[in-house]
Amino acid sequence: MKRLTLFALALLTSLAVSAQEIALQLYSLRNELADNPGEYFEMIPTWGINALEGGGGYGYTEEEFDQMLADHDMRIIGVGADYNQLSEDLSPIIANAKRFGAKYATCYWIPHPDGPISEEELTAATDLFNEAGAKLAQEGITLLYHPHGYEFTETEDGFLIDYMFENARNFKFNMDVYWVQQGGGDPLKYMKDYPGMFPVLHMKDRQKGTADTKNGHADVETNVVLGTGDLDIKGIIKEAKKQGTEYLVIEDESSRSVAQIPQSVKFIQKHLK
C-alpha cells in the first residue's frame, strides 16, 4: 500500500509539472479583431488554443463577450495591470481579473523617458510591485511584470533588471523571451537562475540577425515562427516544463501573425511531448 501511495504521489507530481497550456496574447490579432472579431474568435480554437490573455470588449457588450468565450470554450487567464492604476487604485484591476476569473495581472510597461530605464525608476517600480502584489494576492491575483528590454542596462555584476529579480517578494514575471533577448539578456539563463518566478511566459522568436536595443522598441516584423529565429525556444520550453510554468503565451506582433501562430503552436506541442 505504501509503495502504491508513493507511486500515486509521483504520478500526480509528474502531471502537475507537465501541465503547461498554450495560450494567446490577443494583441497578436489587434488589427484582425478590430475589423472582424467574430471570424477570428472562431478561428483561435481551431489552432488548439483555448486560453487567452488580454481581455477587452472588441465591440461586444460584456454579456456578448462572455457568451462568445463560452460558445468557443475559451477563457481569459490574464489581464493587464496599468502602472498608474497599481500606484493609485487597484480596484479596476481587481474587478477586471475577477470578472474573467483570471488569476494573473501583468504590468507591461514602467513609465519613463524614452530609452533605458534608470536605476531609481526601476527600484521604485520594484517597491511598487511588491506593495501592490501583496494586496492583489489577498484577492487571489498574482501580479506579474513583463520586461521590455529597457531594463537591461549593464552594471558591474550583470544587468539593472537583476535587482528586480533579486527583490521580487510579492510579484513574479511574465517574461517575454524576445524582449529579454532584445535587451541583451539570456531568457533561458534567467529561468535557470530564478526558478519558480515564471508562471507565465510570452513565447516570441526573433529573426536572425536582428540587432539588440535597450529602449523597449523593435521592428514587429522581426517576430518569426517559434523555432526559426535566434532564441533557444526549444530549451526554454524544456525548462518551462521542468519548472511547471503554467502558460506558454504566444505573442506574435508581426503582420504575418495569423499564418505564423498555428505553426508556433505546433512547435510548442512538439517539444512539450
Phi then psi for residue 23, to 5 deg, are -125, 175
Phi then psi for residue 193, to 5 deg, are -75, -30
Indicate whether 10 belongs to any domain: no
Which residues share a beta bridge with 80?
106
CA atoms within 13 A on the CB side of 106: 25
Which triple of cell numbers denotes residue 199? 508562471
Q: Which residues are CB-contacts of 45 (< 8 A; sequence separation ≥ 6)? A: 72, 73, 74
pTM of the complete model beyond 0.85: yes
Going residue by residue through the chain, which has 273 residues, state the pLDDT in tens, using 9 for 90 and above.
Answer: 434 444 444 444 444 444 799 999 999 999 999 999 999 999 999 999 999 998 678 889 999 999 999 999 999 999 999 999 999 999 999 999 999 999 999 999 999 999 999 999 999 999 999 999 999 999 999 999 999 999 999 999 899 999 999 999 999 999 999 999 999 999 999 999 999 999 999 999 999 999 999 999 999 999 999 999 999 999 999 999 999 999 999 999 999 999 999 999 999 999 998
Total domain count for the chain?
Answer: 1
CB-count exposure of residue 182 (10 Å: 0-12, 13-18, 19+): buried
Indicate whether 106 belongs to any domain: yes
Indicate whether 197 belongs to any domain: yes
CATH number for the domain including 24? 3.20.20.150
Helix runs in 112-232, H state only: 119-137, 161-167, 177-182, 187-193
| Helix, strand, coil percent values for the chain (each to nearest 5) | 50, 15, 35
Handedness of CA 160, 188, 195, 201 (dihedral sign): positive
Cell 488569476 sits at which residue? Answer: 103
For residue 200, the enclosing domain spans 19-272
pLDDT of residue 1: 41
pLDDT of residue 202: 98
Indicate whether 229 belongs to any domain: yes
Indicate whether 115 belongs to any domain: yes
Indicate whether 12 belongs to any domain: no
Neighbours of 240 (CB within 10 A): 26
Nearest to 25 by CA among 132, 239, 215, 177: 177
Q: How far is CA 125 from CA 12, 48, 119, 190, 241, in A?
A: 38, 36, 10, 19, 29
The total number of residues written for the chain in this structure = 273
